[in-house]
Amino acid sequence: MVKKIVILIGVALVVAIPFIFQRREVTLVPISSDDVIVIITAHNETLRSEYGRGFSEWYRKKTGKTVVVDWRHPGGGRDVARYVDSLFLNNFRFYWEKILKKPWTQEVRTIFSRLENVTEQNAIPKEWEVRCAFFESNVGCGIDLLFGSGVFDHKMQCAKGYTVPSEFIQMHPELFRDNTIPEFFAGERLWETNGHWIGGSLSSFGIIYNTDALKARGIEHPPETWMDLADPRYINGIAIVDPTKSSSTLKSYEMLIQQQMQIVFNRKMSEENPDRDPKKIEALAIREGWFEGLKLIQKIVSNGHYMTDSSAQTVLDVAEGNCPVGIATDFYGRSEKANIVSRGVKPRFNFVIPRSGCSPSPDPISLYRGAKHKELALEFLEFLLTLPGQSLLAFRVGTPGGPVQTPLCRAPILKTAYNPELLQYSNDPDVNPYNDTGDFVYREEWTKPVFNALSLVFKMAFLDPEDKLRKAWRSIQRARNEGRHRAADEALAVMQDLNVFAYDRVAKEIMQEAKNKDYLHAIRYQTKIANHFREQYKKAYKIAKGK
């Protein structure tokens, strides 16, 4: 008996120790501060620290009072969304039961969890009742601002009614003009007309690479385009972030697909064709380019070394040479490059924006419904969107208005932050996204019908059957190296059969599945399609092997 108790205690300790010693990110809020603002973000500790300090100093100079930022950091963009969902659900339930005196049922809960799909045109009476009750309330989540996470996440929280117009655009019209913060640039919207969200900086997506690791593979010329990442010389060499966990990675794949659509459109427009109707050609190019984009993503995943949830891990692994290349946002890439240079280490790490393959996207900020510190939130917006906050993004450590500890290596959204007299303080004076887009123009209407389903498509076709996909791809390359080109071509055609995800089917059926809140049904549906691709990749493998 004593022996069993000892064993049970040992098992309990083994289970408990990781939880006892796990690192938790806690923001300590000084009791003596006059004001506190609560901001949730997926941004890293470096940015949180610099912006917390910068805002506090700016606010003290302006008002004579002290303020601290109570940061909430549950993880990446998708983690932030799930966390906020749970807060609003619980607070709305309290409001529904205690204030409105109505019974909380599973039906009400389900309706609230898919509120973004409820409109006056399609709603049944109960759905409209729940929607109106929430949208007409001041139910909050205990947080004032959502900072970062990407435009898609901000649009979703707006559609759910979580965020509200901040009125900041109306208060500061001088900031929202073509020569300051334009409404559109390179096809991207930089702020929402009613002020539901406003871009605070500009982010681009690109390729990070390690020149030493490339040379070790016999690759002399670093990658310059998205298409370069399909090169089989990168097999087991690309550090990839899971786009089902990272909204920024998902956005980079959208850029990749848009570039393929543009390539197809340009080719078709240049062909001799008596019926050169641009609208018809555009429709065909969108659908063909969609397939070409998915095929390219498939090859990149096939070349992957791993799939991670952490954007920081890919940068570190490429910097250390564990992987020759990876996909990252510009600020992660440029921050690591600046870090290496500051240590006096031989330059071996670099970041490149794919040629004609990306436009700068806004990194937004939004005001939450029921924000308890709305006036402070407006002060933070003023700090962020004027020179004091914009300087923190791009200036070197120790320069006037620059960061104190670590360069943020981000691109300001305010055009005047690139004025010549300020470039002397810039961490990278050659970076100006308003000049660096090339001929790439983002066209939201091309991918909007399918974008919400893109992560689900990725999961079913590439992520869940990832091991079978990589095995098939390596077998194809082995067949090609052995001179069995016919088998390799036949196997590749089988591997890249993505007709299950035709553009129009994704826009209808898969989009609906992405919205489905019946989790049991979702698991069955996703498993069915993932198994389809597992069998397909197994078939491709066998063909390449000559079986």
Per residue in 250-279, pLDDT (tens digit) is: 999 999 999 999 999 999 998 877 677 889
Return the higher-pLDDT residue of 26 and 289: 289
Q: Are 494 and 539 in contact (CB under 8 A)?
A: yes
Q: Is the dihedral of CA 506, 512, 517, 519 positive or negative?
A: negative
What pLDDT shows up at residue 379? 97
Neighbours of 302 (CB within 10 A): 25
Q: Which residues, including other chains, have CB under 8 Å from residue 56's CB and lie 6 or more apart?
A: 66, 67, 68, 69
Residue 37, CB-side half-sphere exposure with 13 Å CA sphere: 28
CA distance 69 to 370: 18
Which pLDDT score is estimated for 274? 66
Over residues 286-326, the pLDDT tens digits come to 999 999 999 999 999 999 999 988 778 899 999 999 999 99
User: Which CA distances in Å does 434 have to 172, 185, 411?
Assistant: 22, 8, 10
CA atoms within 13 A on the CB side of 524: 6
Q: Taking the C-alpha atoms of 107, 112, 116 and 119 in order, what is their torsion angle to the nearest 10 degrees? A: 60
Rounded mean pLDDT, 478-490: 96
pLDDT digits over 429-467, tens only? 988 999 876 788 999 999 999 998 999 999 999 999 999
pLDDT tens for each residue of 387-400: 999 999 999 999 99
Tokens encoding 188: 């991207």
| pLDDT tens per residue across span 420-437 | 999 999 988 988 999 876
Cα→Cα distances 405→49, 132, 308, 441, Å: 9, 47, 28, 36
Closest CA to 298 of 103, 451, 461, 81: 461
- Report the CATH fold assignment for 35-201+361-425: D-Maltodextrin-Binding Protein; domain 2 (3.40.190)
Neighbours of 313 (CB within 10 A): 16
Say what the pLDDT of residue 331 is. Answer: 85
Q: Is the pLDDT of residue 327 over 60?
A: yes
Q: Where are the domains of the chain?
A: 35-201+361-425, 205-358, 443-547
The torsion defined by the Cα of 322, 327, 332 and 337, in degrees rounded to 10, comes to 60
**Per-residue pLDDT reduced to its tens digit, 332-372:** 888 888 777 777 667 789 999 998 899 899 999 999 999 99
Tell me the average pLDDT across 466-479: 97
Q: Does domain 205-358 have CATH number 3.40.190.10?
A: yes
CA 480 to chain centre: 36
Q: What is the mean pLDDT of the chain?
A: 90
Residue 10 scores a pLDDT above 60 = no
% the chain with pLDDT above 70:
93
Q: What is the pLDDT of residues 114-141, one digit of tens each?
A: 999 888 878 899 999 999 999 999 999 9
H/E element, 138: none
Do 205-358 and 35-201+361-425 fall under one CATH topology?
yes
- Print the SS3 string covering 56-104: HHHHHHHHCCCEEEEEECCCCHHHHHHHHHHHHHHHHHHHHHHHCCCCC
Query: With 50 as the cut, is the pLDDT of residue 480 above it?
Result: yes
